[in-house]
Amino acid sequence: MEVWDMLDAFLPQLLLVLFALLMPALDYWLKDKRILAFAALIPMLGYGLALVTWTIGGHWEPPETGIPLIEVNLFSGTFALAFVAVGIIVVLSSPDYIRGERNHGEYYSLILLAVTGMTVVALATDLVVLFIGLEIAGIASFALSGFSKKERRSAEAATKYFIVGGFSSALTLFAISLFYGVSGTTDIAAMGSQMEAMFSSLEGTRSVATLATVMLIAGLGFKIAAVPFHMWAPDVYEGAPTPISGLLAAASKKMGVAAMFKIFLVGIIVTKSDWDVAIAVIAIVTMTVGNLIAISQANIKRMLAYSSIAQAGYILIVLPVGTEYAVAGGLFHVLTHAFMKSGAFMVVAALAVRGVGERLDDYKGLSRRSPFLAVAMTLFLLSLAGIPPLAGFASKFVLFSSAVYASIDPGPSWLLWLAVAGVLNSALSLYYYARVIKKMYMEKGPEERVTVPKMTGAAILIALIMTIVLGIYFDAVVELCQEAAGSLLQAVS
């Protein structure tokens, strides 16, 4: 009975793993592979429904967990919501995309495992569990990005992703062991109070902590594709099957964000004055480099890859600012970005299914070939650029204004520059987003109609509705994000 009590909190993950194990068996039995996708949706829809009714609806409370390694709170709930939402969108649009491939069972199984790993990271309160979550999701996504075995690009992407990913995992693990050496614990909250106790003493220990912090920035910076640890991202996003690129950009990256929020804002918040400038610089460099290179891209998947590098730069603003409002803004941006970025990738996927290429020039005259996909793409891109009244505007607004507020109240005043850099970069990014819109609407291309693949269309529609709804009516969600931020930061105080 006690075992069951303890596993209560892990029930959704157990369900995900169970279905992941079922998938290959189902694949063996089923002729119509689309049913596999629907089966894979079951645990995610269940989890998603539970999360929505709990976090936004407030209809029930999760039970107290008996396990010291994880905690179910609004912070983990909000992240899990983003992961599951992206998972649903990706699975929905997969059957159309991978029709010609073999081993569908493995594909869905790996997606479910990736989502499992991400949610474990969201739940973890211990560095070791956190690392296990990172690895579950990481290994699943290495395999997923190489799924199209016949395609050289895909195989190459998977190899690179695996090598660089392994390198980064090693750095993360090294950082974790150094932190353990400094604080004597792997529990993140305990580490925080332990570090606080020794903050004033032991000079030497502090430089070890600095070394660990740097390694952590490098290791997790790989996950979120922060410059200069971003090199793999464009190659992998381009080579991977497009739905998987969406999963990596919209969810896997957010897993890194969740881990960073936990460790930096709870575990090593005491040494904030050591790392805040460094991360601020990385944030600004990341958004600027991402946007600049995106301008010169001719392949839409690479462009979207650089665009999500830039988005990671925006989210990194949260760490140096560090206020509750900033974390709320970061969470909100994680949610909105999950929809707009996965939506954009799914449009690319839908077009690829119909034989439209991935070059920007292939998008010429799309508005006449498929008005729905053109409108959807336009709205996703405008949202990414931060144009009201779309979701991206709302979350960027909260995010950037948190830096402005913080530069006035707890200070230091240079935080203001983060907001300035963010706004300037948003303006810069409009340049390459608008170029795609221009190609779709103003330039002449082939005439024949493009029909929208049904399931991918449904996934795009979900993302589109959320992109609009979160831009107009976001009160409940912002409130949720603020409470979630509170539940993360209360561990400190």
Partner 1 sequence: MLEYAWMIPVFPFVAFLLISLLPKRTLSWEDGAGYAIGGAAGALVLSVLVIGDVLAGNTMVGDGPKFNWLVIANIEVTFGIWVDQLTAVMLLVVAVVGTLVVIYSGGYMHEEGAGRRRYYAEIMLFISVMYGLVISDNYLQMFIFWELVGLCSYLLIGFWYEKPSAASAAKRAFIVTRVGDIMFMAGIIILFKYVGALDFAHLFGEEGVAAVPNDMMILATALIFGGAIGKSAQFPLHEWLPDAMEGPTTVSALIHAATMVKAGVYLTARSYPLLVQAPETLLFVAAIGGVTALIAATVALVATDIKRVLAYSTISQLGYMTLALGAGGYLVVYADTAGGYSAALFHLMNHAFFKALLFLCAGSVIHAVGTNDMRLMGGLGKKMRITSLTMLVGAIAIAGVPPFSGFWSKDEVLAAVYSAGEFDSLFFLLWAMGIATAFMTAFYMFRMWFMTFAGEPRSDYHAHESPKLMTVPLMILAVLAMSSGFALFVGDGFGYFAGESVAELFGGHHHESAADILAHIFGDPLTYVSLILATMGILLAYKIYYLPGFDRSVFARGVAGKLQRALENRWYISQFYDDFAVKVVYALSLVADAFDRYVIDGMVNGFAFLGARSGGLLRRAQSGNVQRYAVIIVVGLCLLLIFMLYVAPGGRW
> Does residue 43 have a cis peptide bond before it, meaning omega lies within 30 degrees of 0?
no
Q: Which stretch binds partner 1 (CB under 8 A): 43-51, 53-61, 231-239, 250-258?
A: 231-239
Q: Least distance from C-beta 213 to partner 1, angstroms?
A: 7
Q: Which is nearer to partner 1, 17 or 468 (CB)?
A: 468
The residue from 1, 28, 100, 273 that contacts partner 1 (CB under 8 A) is 273
Kindly state the smallest distance separating residue 23's Cβ from partner 1, in Å: 31
> What secondary structure does DSSP assign to 103-129, as a single string?
-HHHHHHHHHHHHHHHHHHHHB-BHHH
Residues 367-406: x where in contact with partner 1 by CB under 8 A, - otherwise, as a string? ------------------------------xx--x---x-
When asked if residue 483 is in the footprint of partner 1 (CB under 8 A), the reply is: no
Least distance in angstroms from the C-beta of 25 to partner 1? 36
Structure-token match 């969810």, residue found = 251
Our CB check for partner 1 shows the closer of 34 and 435 to be 435
490: contact with partner 1 by CB under 8 A: no
> Footprint of partner 1 on residues 140-159 (CB under 8 A)?
156, 159
Decide: 370 and 451 in contact? Cβ < 8 Å.
Answer: yes
In the list 7, 38, 106, 167, the residue contacting partner 1 (rule: CB under 8 A) is 167
Rounded-to-integer distance, Cα 299 and Cα 253, Å:
21
CA distance 440 to 378: 9
Contact segment (CB under 8 A) with partner 1 among 260-268, 285-293, 366-374, 451-459 equals: 285-293
Task: Return d(Cα 251, Cα 122) in angstroms, integer.
Answer: 12
Tell me: does residue 214 bind partner 1 (CB under 8 A): yes
193's CB contacts (< 8 A; 6+ apart) are none
Check residue 478 for interaction with partner 1 (CB under 8 A): yes
**What is the C-alpha to C-alpha distance for residues 326 and 76, in angstroms, rounded to an integer?**
17
Of 177, 193, 205, 210, the residue at the interface with partner 1 (CB under 8 A) is 210
SS3 (DSSP) at 149: coil
- Which residue in 121, 155, 146 sits closest to 135, CA to CA? 121
Interaction between residue 358 and partner 1 (CB under 8 A): no
Give Rg (Cα) of the chain.
21
CA 155 centroid distance within chain = 23
Compose the 308-337 pattern: x for residues touching partner 1 by CB under 8 A, - for all others: -----------------x------------
Strand partners, 70: 124
Binding of partner 1 at residue 171 (CB under 8 A)?
Answer: yes
Binding of partner 1 by 295 (CB under 8 A): yes
How many CB atoms lie under 10 A from the CB of residue 167?
15
d(CA 360, CA 436): 7
The count of residues interacting with partner 1 (CB under 8 A) is 52
Residues recorded for the chain: 493
Instruction: Tell me which of 314, 474, 488, 489 binds partner 1, using CB under 8 A.
Output: 474
CB 284 within 8 A of CB 313: yes
Residues 420-439 that bind partner 1 (CB under 8 A): 428, 431
Residue that the structure tokens 């502090």 belong to:
206
The answer to the question of residue 228 lying near partner 1 (CB under 8 A) is yes
Interface residue list for partner 1 (CB under 8 A)? 156, 159-160, 163-164, 167-168, 171, 207, 210-211, 213-215, 217-218, 222, 227-229, 231-232, 234-235, 271, 273-278, 281-282, 289, 291-293, 295-297, 325, 397-398, 401, 405, 428, 431, 473-475, 478-479
